[in-house]
A and B are shown apart, each in its own frame.
Chain A
Amino acid sequence: MRAPTLILRLAVRNLFRQKRRTVLTATVVVVGIGLLVLGEAVIAGSEDNIVVSAIDALVGHVQARPADYPTQPMQHPVDKLLTIDAPTTAWLNQHTVAWTGRQLFTPTLIFGGEGLRVRAFGYDPVRDAKVFPRDLWKVRGRQPDPVKDEILVSRGVAKLLDIQPGDRLVLQTRTHLGAMNALEVQVAGIVATTQTVLDSMSVLLPLPLSARLLDSAQPTHLSLRFASRDLAPAAKVELARLLGRQATVVTWQDETRELVELVGTKKGAMQLMVAILMLLAGFGIANTLLMAAYERVREVGTLRALGLTEGGVVALFVVEGGLVGVMGSLVGVAWGGALSLYWQVHPMELAATEAMGANLPMSSLLYTRFDPWSLFAAAVFGVAVAMVASILPARTAARAAPADAVRAE
């Protein structure tokens, strides 16, 4: 093609002839591309959130629980407990970074004449924190004393029943043999862990206390942590062999797969929304350039008379559209990328997660996952949409007969 630099120069200057029109057209691209970048970062962050929450709060890298144990919320039967024999203990000590047993059950919490079914986590005060980090835990009051009948109450339960540290309440449950049992306990502290499941309808009590309530020290859940989460699948096989038919063994991947897939469908919805927005942007660009094509008939005719080919005219308009795409995409990836980067360091607080899904295993702190490659891909997408949208007006401009066009008013 002749005069490529000239075409570029003309295209750049033509953009600034109708500044307001150009800015308005580019704005839709800015919004679309910014949302695409941010949406990708939020979705990727949500996937991370689900995985990290599962690993750091509920599952660990690998988890064993009694066979046929129901996974539905608020159903934690204690009629079957795990038996961990000596070879299993030896294997656990040798192959894991840390492991711990938990007792999950659903007692009724009675306070101030009100009864509330809660999810109880009986934990080993020494081992539990090594498998499930507590860096983000905030306790108003203090940690329970394992030798006293003290518990931590989650923020959600405390708010619902107006419980304060120091209050006394009753936990009533059935033992693992089915007999009724109840204990009066003191609230040592109100805990906020950022993990929605723990923060909603839960109480946390040291294992000696939960063992007294269930009349057994055997765990319902056994959670393992390794040096790398990639070791989980192999460990699952070995642990399943050691525990035999009494247990179902799962990895963090097994436990998060469905939710991650659900997030994946949200990603599809987000991409559809962005696609619609970019379609509108494409129409905007096509409309703007079509107006320009009609306004500049004589100019295009002159260029044709001076030797510019039809292909050259098409190139001129496509470059103009492409430049709108470049400007819009650059600003779009700038704001989308900046917010993604900011929320990657300073997480969003998802206050709605507690109200929405007490059983949604997610952290209320959502970190976005900033991916520089997504910026590039989004920018390329924006420019491509703009260039494709320019083809029709470009062909319209190129089709004008030069003999008529040079004398057009």
Chain B
Amino acid sequence: MAICELHGVTKTYGTGATRVDAIQVIDLIIEAGEFTVLSGPSGSGKTTLLNQVGCLDAPSEGELLLDGRSTRGLTSRQLSHLRGEKIGFIFQSFNLIPVLTATENVELALQLAGRSDGAHEAALAMLPQVGLGGLEHRRPNELSGGQQQRVAIARALVKKPLLVIADEPTANLDSANGEQVLSLMQELNESLGITFLFSTHDPRVLAHARRVIYLEDGRVVRDEVRQPPATRRRQSGTRPSGEVA
């Protein structure tokens, strides 16, 4: 089942001589349960594409459908609600709110999704699942980078989103922490069936991907569907895989 469809999506910045086509006529379908990586050199349009899919930015041309619904013409407020309800974000720099505890950071996602009832309990229950039991009341500056990214993962997943968008999630982590975070996300992808869309340069992330979409100069140049060893064993071919639209 397609949860995200891009039809001829183009994003242009500037006009005239300063015009830059960040992504050009992208057609793409992301299926439910995918663990997909956007790869490509700097400036290839990975982040721009993530911004479109995450409804953080609107395409200059083309159309984005989330869960079968077009985002064209939605107001800023409607887009905010859409993000809050359907999309989880994991950022390179973790982007935790420094004045909130780990629990409160996770709770934040539920509250902004309009699900305040039981938000605190759900947040408390989520943190042990990402290996942060006992650290619930710590603030971000009292946590290591790996722990902060785990809080960010919990924050992204606690509301059971349609899609989790992770922008270079391991870039600020050492190799051990990066590997742990990737394994955790893959585990959650498999156990909860949540769809992940990454952007990365990191070969470790590529190694975990079940689908890799290569971008160059704002265009999709290759869309590779594969099964990493661990996933293939667990899925026994039952999980859906991505395909070129």
Contacts and interface: CB of A to CB of B under 8 A. Distances in A.
B77 A306 contact: no
A407 B81 CA distance: 21
Interface stretch (A10-18, A159-167, A232-240): A10-18
Contacts of B80: 304, 307-310, 312
Question: Which secondary structure dominates chain A's binding surface?
Answer: helix
A306 B99 contact: no
A13 B111 contact: no
A303 B84 CA distance: 9
Interface stretch (B49-57, B61-69, B179-187): B49-57
A10 to B, nearest CB: 7
How many chain A residues sit at the interface, stated as a range, is 20 to 34
B45 to A, nearest CB: 13
Given A3-B116, A298-B93, A403-B51, A306 B56 contact: no
A403 B58 CA distance: 10
Interface string B36-61: 00000000000100010010110000
A305 interface: yes
A307 B56 contact: no
B198 interface: no
B77 A311 contact: yes
Given A401-B57, A406-B89, A306 B116 contact: no
A312 B114 CA distance: 13
Contacts of A307: 80-81, 83-85, 109, 112-114
Interface in B85-118: 85, 89, 91-93, 95, 97-100, 104, 107-109, 111-114, 116
Interface string A305-321: 11111111000000000
Contacts of A407: 47, 91-93, 167
Contacts of B100: 9-10, 13
A32 to B, nearest CB: 28
Contact of B83 (A10, A305, A310): A305
Given A17-B99, A303-B112, 10 more contacts: A6-B108, A14-B99, A299-B95, A299-B97, A302-B91, A305-B54, A305-B89, A306-B83, A306-B89, A402-B56
Interface of A: 2-3, 5-6, 9-10, 13-14, 16-17, 298-299, 301-312, 401-403, 406-407
- State the 3 A-B residue pairs at the shortest beta-carbon distance, nearest first: A307-B84, A307-B112, A13-B99
